[in-house]
Amino acid sequence: MGETRSDDRPDGDDAQQHSTDGSTLGADLADRVRAAREGLDPLHVPVMLDRIVELLAPALTEPGAVLVDGTLGLGGHSEALLKACPEMRLVGVDRDTSALERSARRLEPYADRTHFVHTVYSDIPGALDEAGVGQAQAVLLDLGVSSPQLDETDRGFAYAHDAPLDMRMDRTQELTAADVVNTYPVAELTRVLRVHGEERFASRIARAIERRRAKGPLDSTSELAELVREAIPAATRRTGGHPAKRTFQGLRIEVNAELSILEDALPAALSRLAVGGRIAVLSYHSLEDRRTKRALADLAKDTTPADLPVPLPDRQPELRLLTRGAELPTDEENEQNPRARSARLRAAERVRGPSR
């Protein structure tokens, strides 16, 4: 969705760092990949930009090839791909109207090759239909919260600034973080913090919220952050970053239905990915990464029954994995952009049409 992201690093043993040199691309395209970075605002360089362009650009070289950026954000990845692939078209999708407005301004030089749609990225088929496109040759999903959403203090995503408890990516929706904090039963609030926030002190925090909201609505990010800090054991506060980070992650995921949307979005996007097309997904915590890994791996398997002597044509893999496990940003990128540290990248290519 945006250029630089922030969340907890996912766990797992299949992550690896990747240093891209364009060696898998033709010389001309590799030159355009390097040139695509030129002119980008160094303060808003997208996460793993070079690798994303390297992975997706080969599918976008033919005239009329379509990239769906399902989480457009500031439009940095899309700008680089529009620059590297002069024959491609962009269908830019975002649930945040502010992001669409910013990206439209940023991508004005490519106005004849862009189409913007305000919708959630699980509706990629609907966005393609609105753009008059049948299939996409590339899909990009850059998950999580974007830099502008973190940096605009009135959005309520960051615990470092005092703001209303909002956290809506789409400010046209009704549910806010204040609604969750002030109206969810304690058991449900505990579930949100434990499952979505992976917070081991979820029940203690939920009970502390219950005691506080009995006095009146809790609607301030700074007050919530302080309440969380006081609710967890003192020894825990000294390690693992800000004590409230997992609570804020859990509330944000709940408010924006991020995991259920991702569950719907991956099969929806893959259903409209052309043979030879590629998908790349950037995740920022283990909940997203596990779902992405499963969705791609399931379609990269031969499902011929083990007792048959020959592979069945309609049971052959639909996808070929382009990344070995999840790839991580390089040490250099992590030093230049601390918000990239939690990123994990997975990508695949469609090698066979969907089974009927």
CA angle 47, 245, 178 (to 5 degrees): 110
13 is in an annotated binding site: no
Alpha-carbon gap, residue 37 to 257, rounded angstroms: 33
Nearest to 333 by CA among 51, 132, 9: 51
For the chain, the helix, strand and coil percentages under 3-state DSSP, each to the nearest 5: 45, 15, 40
Alpha-carbon gap, residue 174 to 214, rounded angstroms: 23
Quickly tell me which residue has 């090698």 as its tokens. Answer: 351
| 3-state DSSP assignment of residue 66 | strand
| 3-state DSSP assignment of residue 116 | strand
Q: Which residues contact 139 (CB under 8 A, 6 or more apart)?
A: 67, 68, 70, 124, 269, 270, 273, 277, 278, 279, 280
70 is in an annotated binding site: no
The structure tokens listed for 330 are 């390089």
134 is in an annotated binding site: no
156 is in an annotated binding site: no
197 is in an annotated binding site: no
Q: Which amino acid is at 326?
A: A
Rg, Å, the chain Cα set: 21
250 is in an annotated binding site: no
Alpha-carbon gap, residue 129 to 135, rounded angstroms: 9
Contact yes or no for 237/204 (Cβ under 8 A): no
Q: Per DSSP, which regions of 83-231 are E strands?
A: 89-94, 114-118, 136-142
CA angle 153, 154, 159 (to 5 degrees): 50
142 is in an annotated binding site: yes
Residue positions in the annotated binding site? 75-77, 94, 121, 142, 149
Residue positions in the annotated binding site for S-adenosyl-L-methionine? 75-77, 94, 121, 142, 149
